[in-house]
């Protein structure tokens, strides 16, 4: 909240400072799932969900993408993972950062729903913030695999 107030005051200052250039505006809209993905996930998971050969497993066509894996998937997103992972006959050595302290429950739900709506996460079904909050509770005290 403080951050939002700070950003709003900053915007007002910018607007006041720019009275002779009224066309300058600052986009204050909250980030949606697509933006969060582009900003935080795309570098490894790819704009098309295909991952990086040898480093990051694909979402697209993954055998792990099934409804029964929801908790496990969310745990990976919240705590991160590292080391060698085998998927569909290929091995990947990479680091998945922990997002527990970087994204809110709503932001994680939004980004997971973006992945889902891009049809790479085919059978995940929709996520909502309360589901993320529940998994967050289950893993209180568990260490991050990475920071
Ligand atoms: C620095 C690279 C990197 C970034 C950035 C990254 N990931 Fe990952 N992600 C990985 C790797 C590597 C794995 C595989 C980890 C494993 O299972 O050992 C992974 C696994 C996952 C999985 C589990 C997939 C599976 O098949 O088990 C999900 C879901 C996921 N990431 C979502 C995200 C989301 C959402 C973001 C952005 C908020 C993100 N990742 C950002 C590298 C990254």
Binning pLDDT at 50, 70 and 90, where does residue 69 land?
A: confident
Give the pocket of ligand 1 (CB within 6 Å). Answer: 40-41, 43-45, 56-57, 62, 64, 73, 76-77, 81, 85, 92, 94-97, 99, 111
Among 44, 80, 92, residue to substitute to test ligand 1 (most atoms within 8 Å of Cβ): 44
**Predicted TM-score (pTM) of this structure:** 0.81
**Other beta carbons less than 10 A from residue 113's beta carbon:** 19
How much is the pLDDT for 21? 52
* CB burial string 51-89: b at 16+ within 10 A, e below: beeeebbbbbebeebeeebbeebbbbbbbbbeeebeeee
β-bridge partners, 94: 83
- Backbone phi and psi for residue 95, each to the nearest 5 degrees, phi listed first: -120, 125
Nearest CA to 101 among 70, 79, 72?
A: 79
Specify the pLDDT at position 27: 59
Per residue in 25-65, pLDDT (tens digit) is 665 667 899 999 999 999 999 999 999 999 999 988 776 66
Amino acid 72: pLDDT: 86
Contact 57, 69 (CB under 8 A): no
The Cα 130–Cα 89 span in angstroms is 34
The gap between the terminal CA atoms of the chain, to the nearest Å, is 24
């Amino acid at each position: 909240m403080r951050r939002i107030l700070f950003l709003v005051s900053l915007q007002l200052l910018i607007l006041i400072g720019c009275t002779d250039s009224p066309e300058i505006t600052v986009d204050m809209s909250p980030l949606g799932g697509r933006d969060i993905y582009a900003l935080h996930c795309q570098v490894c998971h790819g704009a098309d969900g295909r991952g990086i050969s040898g480093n990051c497993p694909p979402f697209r066509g993954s055998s792990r993408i099934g409804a029964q894996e929801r908790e496990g998937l969310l745990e990976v997103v919240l705590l991160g993972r590292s080391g060698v992972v085998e998927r569909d006959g290929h091995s990947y050595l990479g680091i998945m950062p922990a997002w527990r302290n970087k994204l809110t429950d709503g932001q994680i739900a939004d980004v997971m729903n973006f992945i889902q709506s891009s049809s790479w996460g085919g059978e995940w079904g929709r996520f909502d913030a309360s589901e993320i909050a529940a998994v967050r509770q289950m893993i209180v005290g568990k260490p991050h695999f990475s920071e």
